[in-house]
Structure 1
């Protein structure tokens, strides 16, 4: 029998907004090939909820059309939203197990999930990154290109302004090659757009599609890159990352620093 798939749109910020995430909440017994097929059929990251060991509330797995991922922020938020909508959640704090590690969740008006403390490193050689994005060093903001991670490495590229960011036309055929050279799972150019507000775009290494409408893991990595560059402080005031506008899918991810790392969340439909 085909699994029941709940199509969520996570981190929505307007009509057609958010990153689609097909969710299967009773995935016990599904094979790897069946899970990957759900992602391929829908063309997006898919989340699967399974029975967890006693100390956890739920277990989650994640697939993109090309492979399994250890962690997916928006699919986690989408899965929790579906569970709550269907009455399968009875408390407002949960502990989840994923292939990438333990994730804590707070189910309030907005669902938030935890991310650990970020690690940030400067990328010393950036010429091929600029070539892939189709820009020159003059179109960068005066900050380093960085590899940053909470769950997996994203390459943060500081762009001078939002207009330049929106106009990027990457050479998608070279994104995987460049990401593999620098040890990254995606290029994440960003530009400032207001007080604790930034716009960003995500070009993944090898997910099976060229651009993401909203990428929670990349936004979490960006938060620590911004902190490292002195562009934000570590207060718990919301930090907002807009994404997807250039694709016609406006999205917004909300981040809050915490002593142990970061909370990320946003609306779902």
Structure 2
């Protein structure tokens, strides 16, 4: 029987009260898919990362929500990076995921472990009229609520996300949606979360991420949607790369999270943050 550890960490935060919790399972070899699904459901967080082998810079990683396997998860990757850093030290780890190899750079700064992942090549496309109409209906939003400077888009940085930007923070703060309706729409369109944003200024974006397909009403920090957003902003020429953007998420939920986005001129998008251990 292979040895393994299971830790619970909160990613994109320096305090246990904030961030997005993730399970991090590290062992000699990955369990069978049904066992990973069982463990993820038992942990109960939006995602649990399963990592093997126990040593070395190259690791195979799989991600499971309580209900299904997820191709890629940003906050669980950051949590895993910090967990590996605390166990094996700083350095660059190569995560072999189902969407490709993700480099994760782990370093210590001011006494804290920090992890930075660089996404696969991002891409985006315009949503269909039907998708946009159904999303707005499920959210009880109106076209007039949207910020025309950041048009709606389907964006990819490992998973597909629907990006909807609104004109006011109040519209974002007042989020309330039809769980079943939104979940079905997302399943039909292969969406992992909705990246709902309000841009305060060029360097600061507020974000909320409904995640009903994972059985979670809302994610408090979503690294995968952050890199997808960064890629969309660059590829659509909404911003001039290179650029750094801070994303604040989870504030309304009482789990404030801080994601740091670096958008280079080309290639994958980097998101970084800290993580704290909640329990072993």
TM over 0.5: yes
- Which residue of structure 2 aligns with residue 51 of structure 1? 53
- Which residue of structure 2 aligns with residue 93 of structure 1? 92
Structure 1 residue 15, shift from structure 2 partner: 6.1
In the TM superposition, structure 1's runs of 4+ consecutive aligned residues that sit over 3 Å from their partners are 1-4, 180-183, 228-231
For residue 34 of structure 1, give the secondary structure of its aligned residue in structure 2: helix
Distance in 1, Cα, partners of 2:270 & 2:237: 19
Match 1:245 to one of 248, 251, 260 = 251
Judge conservation of contact 2:27–2:54 (CA < 8 Å) in 1.
Answer: no
Distance in 2, Cα, partners of 1:10 & 1:137: 33
Judge conservation of contact 2:81–2:105 (CA < 8 Å) in 1.
Answer: no
For residue 241 of structure 1, give the secondary structure of its aligned residue in structure 2: strand
Q: 1:111-137 deviations in whole A, cap 9, x for unaligned?
A: 101112311111131222111111111
Distance in 1, Cα, partners of 2:261 & 2:14: 15
Superposed counterparts of 1:82-121, under 5 Å: 82-86=83-87, 88-89=88-89, 92-108=91-107, 109=109, 110-121=114-125
Distance in 2, Cα, partners of 1:216 & 1:194: 20
Q: 1:6-57 deviations in whole A, cap 9, x for unaligned?
A: 1110011666211100111115252222222222122110011112999x62
What are structure 2's unaligned runs of at least 5 residues?
none
Judge conservation of contact 1:14–1:250 (CA < 8 Å) in 2.
Answer: no
What TM-score results when the alignment is normalised by the length of structure 2?
A: 0.87
The count of residues paired between Structure 1 and Structure 2 equals 265
Distance in 2, Cα, partners of 1:80 & 1:27: 17
What are structure 1's unaligned runs of at least 5 residues?
none
Distance in 2, Cα, partners of 1:25 & 1:15: 21
- Which residue of structure 2 aligns with residue 198 of structure 1? 205
Distance in 2, Cα, partners of 1:13 & 1:85: 15
Judge conservation of contact 1:156–1:222 (CA < 8 Å) in 2.
Answer: yes
Query: Which structure: greater strand fraction?
Result: 2
Match 1:211 to one of 215, 218, 227 = 218
Distance in 2, Cα, partners of 1:220 & 1:18: 17
What TM-score results when the alignment is normalised by the length of structure 1?
A: 0.90
Distance 1:114 1:221, change over 3 A: same
Distance in 1, Cα, partners of 2:218 & 2:171: 17
Deviates more, 1:191-200 or 1:166-175: 191-200
Distance in 2, Cα, partners of 1:103 & 1:46: 17
